[in-house]
Chain A
């Protein structure tokens, strides 16, 4: 790089950004930023009965997601991959292609985990600007406020204290996969216990930045003139999730359904993508009304697995 790194004043930058673009500030959200790319209710199509024709969906206007922590940036990178296979998910990328993502962190990192631009904390007010993609570079050029940094103070990088042990476990994804898959038959006690305390409410799936299952619902408008297909967020702890036409349910009990949440994230996902579908953002644990300690469960399972499989 020939130019000196840029730095900005956070509030000034955000105000200027808001004047020029549609900005969604994600910093205080309970739900993960996936809600803007894969909304809880997505109209797949509208069909005009009289004309016997599909109506075009309203266009998506460009928008900026602001203030994503590193793990959320990582989650969106993963979600991009999930939504690309086996075919590109039209609805997801319709929104994603209009999105500019600005990360915000006080952590240190070597390789940017995702996003278009990352703001890294230098002091409470000043942030270093790091473009990640061409989109990010273009954006920063449009902003007058960014200035070459003079004396970047020796930063005191913070450490992310959310689920540190799970973060470590995720690095050994293959072992984690084996342990979770092993636990269903070999350590059923834990799933029996969890089925007693899990409410099955589905919050863990809703708040997760990577849970991406949905169900499809068709409806007619009350005038009888058009019909609509909707894709709605689903949660694997709910009985409807695994029920098929005719009434058969593949996961009859909450025990099976709650296990499925772990199985999909940590086992099946490894088979399909080579990575668990978890970035240890901590939302599921923080939002669980039953206060289920998901990190502890996974530590427990892997420990039991290691003891049982010691040669």
Chain B
């Protein structure tokens, strides 16, 4: 796509509804951001600078979940104008935390919190891929700095950015952790894409799978293991933290839970 002799790639950075934590991660790469700013032509980054330029863009990096019609329109417009759409973080990639939203109880809470006359603007919290074609997803809640830099570096080198195709278990073993599953604790590490350095498990928390489902993950096998010590409700509570809106949950995980027999 580009080599070091050609013009800088124009990259637009946008955010939809989210906590902006992944953009903070982008800022926190410090001197590496200086190199990025030097090698890319970064535009439209509301949080980072004031340069506003129209498309076409070599890539639009988008954080957050589109939850209003305006955001969805903007997303479609960006798709038209950009060669690549790259999602930044779990919200954009797999709907993440906003995707937990429980639609069935929404009306009740609108009335309770905002009053009877409130007209809601928000619609579903779905990943970017529900509306447009996404070329690559930078996973994580928040994203991992090294993985973020690696992806952008691969773009600069003219490669198609690659996913980490191993499970969290590799980095978890390297971190010297005991296996949570063997200690009868919920963990989605084996079906989750690596790259996070197993930071949650090392800190004593389960892996909730914020890096998304690893390719060809054996979800029914994991469900079988989880059901040996956890109830369906407990597992659902954990898995819907990030997976509520992804097809692997809706089509495979739920089914496996349903089909489970002791």
Interface residues of A (CB under 8 A from B): 29-31, 35, 40, 195-203, 206-207, 219-224, 233, 235, 238-240, 254, 287, 289-291
Contact = CB atoms under 8 A, between A and B. Distances in A.
B225 A290 contact: yes
Judged by DSSP, the binding face of A is: loop
B217 interface: yes
A202 B170 contact: yes
Interface string B150-186: 1011101100000001110110011011110110000
B181 A289 contact: yes
A198 B176 contact: no
A202 B169 contact: yes
A233 B176 contact: no
A239 B170 contact: no
A206 B35 contact: no
Contact of A30 (B32, B176, B189, B216): B176
B196 to A, nearest CB: 15
Interface residues of B, number: 38
A35 B189 CA distance: 21
B55 interface: no
B47 interface: no
Given A220-B153, A222-B152, A29 B215 contact: no
Contact of A196 (B167, B190, B191, B220): B220
Contact of A200 (B156, B173, B177, B218): B218
Contacts of A202: 166-167, 169-170
Nearest to A249: B216
B224 interface: yes
B181 A40 contact: no
Given A30-B176, A224-B4, A238-B165, A206 B170 contact: yes
A102 B88 CA distance: 48
Contact of A254 (B39, B153, B179, B218): B218
A29 B182 CA distance: 17
B149 interface: yes
A124 B201 CA distance: 35
8 contacts: A197-B224, A202-B166, A207-B173, A220-B157, A221-B153, A222-B35, A287-B173, A289-B179
A219 B152 CA distance: 11
B173 A220 contact: no
B222 interface: yes
Contacts of A203: 169, 173, 179
Interface in B213-262: 215-218, 220-222, 224-225
A198 B218 contact: yes
A257 B167 CA distance: 15
B132 interface: no
A202 B191 CA distance: 11
A51 to B, nearest CB: 15
Contacts of A200: 167, 190, 216-218
Nearest to B215: A239
B36 interface: yes
A219 B221 contact: no
Given A200-B216, A200-B217, A206 B173 contact: yes
Contacts of A291: 182, 225
A228 to B, nearest CB: 11
A175 B252 CA distance: 40
A224 B190 contact: no
A40 B170 contact: yes
Contacts of B166: 202, 235, 238, 240
Contacts of A198: 218, 221
A239 B182 CA distance: 24
Nearest to B182: A289
Nearest to B171: A40
B176 A29 contact: yes
Given A196-B220, A201-B167, A238-B166, A222 B173 contact: no
A222 B149 contact: yes
Contact of B173 (A31, A197, A199): A31
B153 A201 contact: no
Contact of B190 (A220, A233, A239, A289): A289
A29 B165 CA distance: 25
A219 B153 contact: yes
Contacts of A254: 216, 218
Nearest to B32: A222
Contacts of B191: 199
